[in-house]
Structure 1
């Protein structure tokens, strides 16, 4: 072995990257050994590669995925600082959202600690009622993703069409609360089918992207109003399903969540979320 080369074990200790990880990075072309023993296949690295290995470990520690690490290192080789800043900005935004989520969990745990029997019930849910809701013209954005990441981002994107950042007065007007529409038949962690809509009136200019104007169907809806932090909205769903069973109603379309106030303007305990289920009566047995 040449004196300027490091066996994989030594390289692993220096960079704090496991040998299993180094083999994976070799296969992906992310960190390819400088040499390989013809007989044993044993990998060897150079001292120059230590810097790249440490940089990979640092980026992974910051929360970037391997594909993102590859893109960042490629951008670094091109001298593309703008691309790197974009990746960092996206990771920072995701981290801040996660910090916010953990803060909500910490507060919930504190309430639970203070009142172990009832601390999780710092919310209120109205009695379910039937509503006849008309069709609505809405600005819509639909994609697959993770709920807590996608919904706030999609809401911000839609608001750029009705509340331009440059202060211009838009032609379209908001005609109702922001809604999240769930198109999945089951809860999905990472690839949920998410649609966010804003009811509008007036003309709107679209840029040919994934935002569209469509007609949201009306109909008969079973509804409750939930007051409290968003993570507790599941209790509203539980209340609706229980009441539906009692009243012999069945779900006939995607559920909706209507956000009736702004989390930036009120405390979590004051957040208002209306949950709506499109329903019809279960036909009597023959």
Structure 2
């Protein structure tokens, strides 16, 4: 597994924050995606989950995360859908292939890489979902793990 440093371009996203089990993530992805399509916004390719805590640290009902889609166009928050701009930033990134439930070791490897190579992690982990579980077998799912970082001197 290769860990790389890269810049993430600024993006406008529609998202919903959630608390609780990860079991409903596929439903939440569908919900946000349908909202974006229903507003006739142009999806720009980033389907993501940002995870603010870990099942290693908190009970399932206390997990906090958001699910979102990047888009081009204009939209305003509506109901539980929020709209925000994610600024351009630097991340350490690695690709996981396989079931979403097996991404943990890649997350830990990126953190280890950051520590060993003088990076300070400055935000939560984001998983960018690069293909669709409805279109590929679980063994071929691709997830990009990203941690926002700054390089320490």
> Do the structures match in fold with TM over 0.5?
yes
Corresponding residue to 2:43 among 150, 174, 178: 174
Higher RCO, Cα 8 Å, sep 6+: 2
Q: Which whole-Å CA distance do the structure 2 matches of 1:215 and 1:143 have between them?
A: 19
Q: State the match for 2:127 in structure 1.
A: 257
SS of residue paired to 1:177: strand
What secondary structure does 1:269 align onto? helix
| Superposed counterparts of 1:1-286, under 5 Å | 126-149=1-24, 151-164=25-38, 170-184=39-53, 187-188=57-58, 189-204=60-75, 208-283=78-153
Which structure would you say has the larger Rg? Answer: 1
Alpha-carbon RMSD: 1.8
Uncovered stretches (5+) of structure 2, i.e. residues with no partner: none
Aligned mates of 1:270, 1:257 — CA distance in 2: 16
Alpha-carbon deviation of 1:187? 3.7
* Matched-pair contact (CA < 8 Å) for 1:171–1:204: no
CA apart distance, 1:276: 0.1
Q: TM-score, normalised by structure 1?
A: 0.50
Following TM superposition, by how much is the alpha carbon of 1:184 offset from its aligned partner in structure 2, in angstroms?
Answer: 2.4
CA-to-partner distance for each residue in 1:28-84, whole Å, 9 max, x for gaps? xxxxxxxxxxxxxxxxxxxxxxxxxxxxxxxxxxxxxxxxxxxxxxxxxxxxxxxxx
Aligned to 1:76: none
TM-superposition CA deviations, 1:1-21 (whole Å, max 9, x none): xxxxxxxxxxxxxxxxxxxxx
Name the one with the larger helix percent: 1
Higher strand share: 2
Contact 1:161 1:204 in 2 (8 A): no
Deviation string, structure 1 residues 125-173 (Cα, Å, up to 9, x no partner)? x300001112210001112111122x22221111122334xxxxx4311
Q: CA deviation at 1:226?
A: 0.7
Number of aligned positions between the proteins: 151
